[in-house]
Amino acid sequence: MASLVTVFGGSGFLGRNAVRALAKAGYRIRVAVRYPNQAEYLPPMGSVGQIQLMKCNVLDQDAVARACQGADAVVNLVGILAPAGGQGFDDVHVAAVGNIAMAAKAAGARTLVHVSSLGADPEAESHYAKTKGEGEKLLREEFSNATILRPSLLAGPDDDFFNKFAALARMLPMLPLIGGGHTKFQPAFVGDVADAIVKCVSDTATKGKTYELGGPGTYSFKELMQLVLQETGRSRPLVPVPFWLASIKAMFLQFLPGKLLTPDQVTSLKTDNLVSPNALTFKDLGIMPDSIEAILPAYLWRFRPRGEYDEAVRERVTGSP
């Protein structure tokens, strides 16, 4: 019988890609989510009975323990970009990590893969990065040989970054460059990070190690905005916005639906999001990551003025103008 993997946070952007990759690799998967009715698209990703949903609040120790029962491996993908649903950074990035680590250990799971974030640091100025770092520290205390993955900004059909700015380029007469647009990133394809999760679940040599997962290219925030405009076929001025002014605007924008921008996100943008020089990376997992230039055209075309009827899109798909 195939090994059972319990996945926490399997209904999120990275989560659904990880569940699909684990199913393809032949694992049985128990997806522990807060709202199973919002994750009913997951079971069809596998064969009948291969993927099962289970209601679980990661702040409920008993529920987390039940979710881990009988699991050979546990994967934690739970994370938030801004406080929501009555749960804050400390709840999701620290307390929940401790609950999952303790439950996985008590259940006898041989492997625990924890997805953190590039830049996680208990001393970070950003509350997001700070709690991610505190969660990693607690994880090591409770499950010392857990594998930690720190992905950079993720790109993919349902991502929260490139889709957001592509939509803004469609509605706004300009795009803002927070802090002048100098912050650097190494965006990674979500499918590559999902493959890294599968690798860490299956390969015992990854136990106890930390991997920083960035794509092959380094880009400034400004260069990423230029890529978005290029792929959406739009021309918009890029307007520098000082951090202090962005922070003031974020105080109001955080209350809009979707939390367009929060003060903590502005703080995060003051620090480059790059892989450390001596870190273990995709290469150490045997994965050759895709560039975002190869990924973005596959889904940002829908933000072009003529969508699928745009000549550039038709030529790329059919090979003829």
Q: For position 318, what pLDDT does the model report?
A: 47
User: For 215-219, what is the mean pLDDT?
Assistant: 97
pLDDT tens, position by position, 105-163: 999 999 999 999 999 999 999 999 999 999 999 999 999 999 999 999 999 999 999 99
- Of 128-142, 191-205, 249-263, 272-286, least confident by mean pLDDT is 249-263
Q: Please answer whether residues 224 and 185 qualify as being in contact, where contact means their C-beta atoms are separated by less than 8 angstroms.
A: yes
Per-residue confidence (pLDDT) for residue 84, from 0 to 100: 80
> Which tens digit of pLDDT belongs to each residue from 153-190?
999 999 999 999 999 999 999 999 999 999 999 999 99
Instruction: Say if CB 242 and CB 317 are below 8 A apart.
Output: no
pLDDT tens per residue, range 53-88: 999 999 999 999 999 999 999 999 999 988 887 889
Q: pTM for this structure?
A: 0.93
Query: What confidence score (pLDDT) does residue 135 get?
Result: 97
258 pLDDT tier (thresholds 50, 70, 90): confident
What number of CA atoms fall less than 13 Å from residue 26's CA on the CB side? 5
**SS (HEC) of the chain:** CCCEEEEECCCCHHHHHHHHHHHHCCCEEEEEECCHHHCCCCHHHCCCCCEEEEECCCCCHHHHHHHHCCCCEEEECCCCCCCECCECHHHHHHHHHHHHHHHHHHHCCCEEEEECCCCCCCCCCCHHHHHHHHHHHHHHHHCCCCEEEEECCEECCCCCCHHHHHHHHHHCCCEEEEHHHCCEECCEEHHHHHHHHHHHHHCHHHCCCEEEECCCCCEEHHHHHHHHHHHHCCCCCEEEECHHHHHHHHHHHCCCCCCCCCHHHHHHCCCCECCCCCCECHHHHCCCCCCHHHHHHHCHHHHCCCHHHCHHHHHHHHCCC
pLDDT digit string (tens) for 97-120?
A: 999 999 999 999 999 999 999 999
pLDDT at 255: 85
| Tokens representing residue 160 in the block | 């929260």
Q: Write the CA distances from 170 to 173, 224, 228, 288, integer angstroms.
A: 8, 16, 11, 33
Closest CA to 9 of 104, 78, 103: 78
Mean pLDDT across the chain: 93
Query: What is the structure's pLDDT at 309?
Result: 62
Q: What domains, with CATH codes, occur in the chain?
A: 4-155+188-213 (3.40.50.720)
Number of neighbouring beta carbons within 10 Å of residue 23: 22
The mean pLDDT of 289-297, rounded to a whole number, is 95
